[in-house]
Amino acid sequence: MRRHSLSTRLWHWLNALCVVVLFMSGLSISNAHRHLYWGDWGFDARQAWFDVPRFPDWMTIPGHYSLAVARDWHVLMAWPFALGLLFMWLAMLVSRHFVRDIATTRSEWRAQAILDDIVQHLKLDFSHAGGKYNFLQKLAYGVVLGIFLPMMIFTGISISPGMGPAFGWLIDLFGGRQSARSLHFIFAFATCGFFFVHIALVVLSGPIHQIRDMLTGGRIDEA
C-alpha cells in the first residue's frame, strides 16, 4: 500500500507552488498599503490596528515594487489554489483518507495523550506505528486543510469588489471588508508559519526519504 496516494502527491506539489507564489506576491500587495483595519472602511494609519513592516525585494514577487505585476501573479495562482483545494477535499472524502487518517477521534483528545505527543515531538522522536499520523499531525493537517487554506479563499473573495454583490453575507460574516482583509493577512501568516514548521519537521525526520515518498508515494510495510 502506498504511503501517499497519487491525489495527495499531485495536490501537495501543486499547492506548494501556489502557496509560495501567492504568499510572495501577497507581500508585494501588502507593501502597497501597510496598514490593517477592522470594520468596513479604513484609509489612514491612525485607524489601523496594525502597521505591517515593508518587505524587502528578495521576499516579493516581482523582485521590484509593482502592484500591477504582483496582482497578476496573485490572481493567476488563486485559480489552481482554489480549484486544487476543492479537488483535494473531494478526493479525501471519496477515498475516506480524511475520515481514516486525518479526522481525530474523541479518545485522542485526552490531555495526557496530547502532552505525551508534544514531549515526543520535542525529543525529536518521530517514530509512530504503521506510518499513521499521530494526534498533533492530524490536528495540524486538519487545521490547515479545513481552516487556514479555505479561509484564504473566503477572505480573498470578500476583498474582491466584483464578488461583493453575490457575497455580501460573507463580508458581513467577517465583520466588513477591511476585517476580511485583515483576516486574509492573518491566515496568510498562519499558513506561512505552518509551512516553516512543516519543512523543519521534514528536515528533522529524514528529508530524503520524506521527499522521495511524497514524489513516488512510498510504501507502508504491512507487517
Partner 1 sequence: MKRRSVLAGLGALWVAGCNKVAETDTGAKLLSAAEKWHRGAHRLLIDRNALAPEYPHSAVSPFFRGNGSTDPQNGEYPRHAANGFSDWRLEVRGLVETPLSLSLDNVRKLPQRTQVTRHDCVEGWSAIGEWTGPQLSLLLEAAKLKPEARFIVFHCADEYKGTSYYESIDLVDAFHPQTIVAHQLNGEPLPVRNGAPFRMRIERQLGYKQAKYLTAIEAVASLEGIGEGQGGFWEDRSGYQWYAGI
Residues in touch with partner 1 (CB under 8 A): 20-21, 24, 29-30, 32-33, 35, 37, 40-44, 56-63, 66-69, 71-73, 75-76, 78-79, 159-166, 168, 171, 177-178, 181
**Given the complex with partner 1, which of 79 and 109 has the nearer CB atom?**
79
Q: Are strands 35-36 and 50-51 parallel, antiparallel or unpaired?
A: antiparallel
39 neighbors 179 (Cβ within 8 angstroms): yes
**Given the complex with partner 1, which of 160 and 205 has the nearer CB atom?**
160
Closest separation between CB of residue 112 and partner 1, Å?
A: 36
Closest separation between CB of residue 85 and partner 1, Å?
A: 16
**Given the complex with partner 1, which of 149 and 171 has the nearer CB atom?**
171
133 neighbors 141 (Cβ within 8 angstroms): yes
**Given the complex with partner 1, which of 41 and 189 has the nearer CB atom?**
41
45 neighbors 51 (Cβ within 8 angstroms): yes
Q: Which of 119, 103, 123 is nearest to 111 (CA)?
A: 119
**Given the complex with partner 1, which of 166 and 208 has the nearer CB atom?**
166
Task: Give CA separation, 155 vs 160, 161, 180, 184, in Å.
Answer: 9, 12, 5, 5
